[in-house]
């Protein structure tokens, strides 16, 4: 039986995803694409639960899907459709519908703006030099099937670049919407964010569905931070609960750079987020903030990697999970402290609130430390709502449902407060309220 299963897992899978077709682009990109495709099989192979990295996240169902490259949506998607998802006010927004850039729905910076932003395609067709320095150089997909697959076949994506010393106050939103009604549409979204020396940039990367059909998003985002650069990156994933969402975010940090990363996962049937940073020069600091809300049959997986390669860097990681129904959460937090990375300060916290006896969380810290003069701490907790607090609120006249909602909201509070973008915070408040209204009935603990 085991043999049969293993046999099935070894079958070449890449073909079913993209029928051997590489994405477009100039010669240098084609070279990278061919290299990535060559690695897919058999070097990397489609992930199975026998691999430690995918132990709790079974991707096998994806192979049963009638996957196909997303086609231009039959339905017309207009400004009124994207309005509910816009979080940058009247600011910069790059809209992609079913993977295709929609200039007509986007708001791009003009020639006098303090940054450059647009579709990758537009840049590589015009002046690709900056892309060539960064694209597919940071997230190489050496070991990750989906990252390599993305590199081989992404059609388009977003490019955002802040020149040296530019301080861009207004956030840039990258908005990906799935609209196709035919089940199994796959989009490989690719983003490149470059913050040059001393610049400052805020990017909201959001994913949502306008369709109820199951679809696949396979996103890769590379973020290069120059010396003294600051980037706040907020990834919001709220796709429909039949979708599969796979994402990799890879930051590479130069001297004294500061990366504030948020991953807010609330949607998809299965969501796998790989959030990684390489602290590659002295004085770099990373804050990894995460919040996942899972209910029903959802699976939410976060794998994070903080790689301390150089001395005197700091990382602070806070991931919070709220699990209801029969949901399954996975958190795996890797911290590498390389031999040269003396005086590292690394901290990791993962807290989980389990609202139902049928919900499940697998949490695992993974620290690999090769330097001797370092400070590393980690902690993981799994708990239920505090019954004493619940009684206190109710004893003042607050109904059980609202009291639970207040406590759940309180649990998520720290994660929400770390986001500096007010519209994103407001959006989350709304989402938390809607999600946990009527918690009365969805709870199976106590009364």
Partner 1 sequence: MLEIRNLSAGVDGKAILKGLSLSVQAGEVHAIMGPNGSGKSTLAQVLAGRGEYEVSSGSVTFNGVSLLELKPEERARAGLFLAFQYPVEIPGVNSTVFLKAALNECRKARGEQELDAVEFLALVKKKTKLLELDPALLGRAVNEGFSGGEKKRNEIFQMAVLEPKLAILDETDSGLDIDALKIVSGGVNKLRRPDNATLVITHYQRLLNYIVPDYVHVLVHGQIVKSGGKELALELEERGYDWILGDAANNGKP
The binding site for partner 1 (CB under 8 A) comprises 386, 388-389, 391-400, 402-403, 406-407, 409-414, 446-447
| Count of other CB atoms within 10 angstroms of residue 131 | 21
Compute the distance between CA of residue 363 and CA of residue 381 in angstroms, rounded to an integer.
Answer: 9
**At closest approach, how far in Å is the CB of 384 from partner 1?**
14
Least Cα distance to 214 among 9, 66, 434, 381 occurs for: 66
Cβ distance to partner 1 smaller for residue 82 or 412: 412
**At closest approach, how far in Å is the CB of 397 from partner 1?**
4
Cβ distance to partner 1 smaller for residue 61 or 399: 399
**At closest approach, how far in Å is the CB of 424 from partner 1?**
18
**At closest approach, how far in Å is the CB of 96 from partner 1?**
35
Cβ distance to partner 1 smaller for residue 370 or 445: 445
Compute the distance between CA of residue 117 and CA of residue 202 in angstroms, rounded to an integer.
Answer: 12
**At closest approach, how far in Å is the CB of 321 from partner 1?**
15
Cβ distance to partner 1 smaller for residue 53 or 414: 414
The number of angstroms, rounded, from the C-alpha of 278 to the middle of its chain's C-alpha atoms is 16
**At closest approach, how far in Å is the CB of 436 from partner 1?**
13
Least Cα distance to 193 among 267, 253, 147 occurs for: 253
**At closest approach, how far in Å is the CB of 395 from partner 1?**
5
**At closest approach, how far in Å is the CB of 360 from partner 1?**
24
Compute the distance between CA of residue 215 and CA of residue 210 in angstroms, rounded to an integer.
Answer: 11
The single residue listed with the structure tokens 């670049």 is: 161
Compute the distance between CA of residue 188 and CA of residue 219 in angstroms, rounded to an integer.
Answer: 6
Cβ distance to partner 1 smaller for residue 111 or 397: 397
Coil, strand or helix: which one is 305? Answer: strand
Residue 162: its H or E element:
strand 156-162
Least Cα distance to 338 among 367, 313, 307 occurs for: 307
Compute the distance between CA of residue 366 and CA of residue 332 in angstroms, rounded to an integer.
Answer: 7
Cβ distance to partner 1 smaller for residue 243 or 428: 428
**At closest approach, how far in Å is the CB of 402 from partner 1?**
7
Cβ distance to partner 1 smaller for residue 227 or 401: 401
- Token readout for 397 is 């006249």
**At closest approach, how far in Å is the CB of 318 from partner 1?**
14
**At closest approach, how far in Å is the CB of 416 from partner 1?**
10
- Token readout for 113 is 């703006």
Q: What is the DSSP letter of 83?
A: G
**At closest approach, how far in Å is the CB of 422 from partner 1?**
17
Cβ distance to partner 1 smaller for residue 20 or 399: 399
Least Cα distance to 333 among 312, 349, 309 occurs for: 349
Cβ distance to partner 1 smaller for residue 173 or 405: 405
160 in Cβ contact with 194 (< 8 Å):
yes
Cβ distance to partner 1 smaller for residue 172 or 403: 403
Compute the distance between CA of residue 432 and CA of residue 434 in angstroms, rounded to an integer.
Answer: 6
Cβ distance to partner 1 smaller for residue 92 or 319: 319
| Count of other CB atoms within 10 angstroms of residue 378 | 16
224 in Cβ contact with 252 (< 8 Å):
yes
- DSSP per-residue codes, 265-300: E---SEEEEEEEEEE-STT-EEEEEEEEEE-TT-EE
326 in Cβ contact with 356 (< 8 Å):
yes
399 in Cβ contact with 367 (< 8 Å):
no
Compute the distance between CA of residue 271 and CA of residue 248 in angstroms, rounded to an integer.
Answer: 11
Cβ distance to partner 1 smaller for residue 337 or 403: 403
259 in Cβ contact with 228 (< 8 Å):
no
């Amino acid at each position: 039986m085991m043999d049969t299963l293993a046999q099935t897992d070894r079958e070449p899978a890449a073909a079913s995803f993209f029928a051997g077709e590489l994405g477009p682009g100039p010669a240098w990109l084609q070279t990278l694409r061919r290299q990535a495709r060559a690695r897919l099989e058999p070097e990397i192979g489609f992930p199975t639960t026998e691999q430690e990295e995918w132990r709790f996240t079974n991707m096998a169902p994806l192979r049963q899907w009638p996957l196909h490259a997303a086609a231009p949506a039959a339905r017309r998607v207009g400004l009124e459709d994207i309005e509910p998802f816009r979080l940058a006010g009247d600011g910069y927004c790059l809209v992609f519908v079913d993977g295709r850039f929609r200039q007509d729905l986007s708001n791009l910076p003009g020639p006098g703006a303090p940054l450059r932003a647009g579709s990758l395609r537009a840049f590589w067709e015009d002046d690709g030099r900056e892309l060539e320095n960064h694209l597919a150089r940071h997230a190489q997909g050496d070991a990750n099937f989906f990252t390599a697959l993305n590199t081989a076949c992404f059609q388009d994506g977003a490019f955002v670049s802040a020149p040296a010393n530019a301080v861009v106050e207004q956030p840039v939103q990258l908005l990906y919407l799935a609209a196709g009604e035919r089940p199994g549409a796959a989009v490989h979204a690719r983003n490149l964010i470059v913050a040059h020396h001393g610049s400052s940039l805020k990017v909201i990367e959001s994913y949502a569905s306008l369709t109820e059909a199951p679809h696949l998003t396979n996103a890769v985002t590379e973020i290069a931070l120059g010396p003294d650069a600051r980037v706040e990156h907020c990834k919001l994933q709220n796709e429909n609960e039949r979708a599969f969402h796979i994402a990799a975010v890879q930051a590479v940090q130069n001297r004294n750079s500061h990366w504030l990363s948020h991953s807010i996962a609330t949607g998809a049937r299965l969501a796998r987020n790989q959030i990684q940073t390489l602290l590659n020069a002295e004085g770099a600091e990373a804050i990894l903030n995460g919040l996942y809300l899972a209910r029903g049959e959802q699976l939410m997986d976060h794998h994070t990697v903080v790689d301390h390669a150089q001395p005197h860097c700091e990382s602070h990681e806070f991931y919070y999970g709220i699990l209801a129904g029969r949901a399954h959460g996975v958190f795996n937090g890797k911290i590498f402290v390389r031999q040269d990375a003396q005086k590292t300060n690394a901290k990791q916290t993962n807290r989980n609130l389990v609202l139902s006896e049928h919900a499940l969380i697998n949490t695992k810290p993974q620290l690999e430390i090769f330097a001797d003069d370092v400070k590393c701490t980690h902690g993981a907790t799994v708990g239920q709502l505090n019954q004493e607090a619940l009684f206190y609120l109710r004893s003042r006249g607050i109904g059980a449902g609202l009291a639970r909602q207040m406590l759940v909201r309180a649990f998520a509070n720290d994660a929400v407060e770390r986001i500096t973008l007010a519209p994103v915070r407001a959006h989350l408040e709304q989402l938390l309220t809607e999600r946990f209204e009527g918690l009365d009935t969805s709870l199976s603990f106590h009364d």
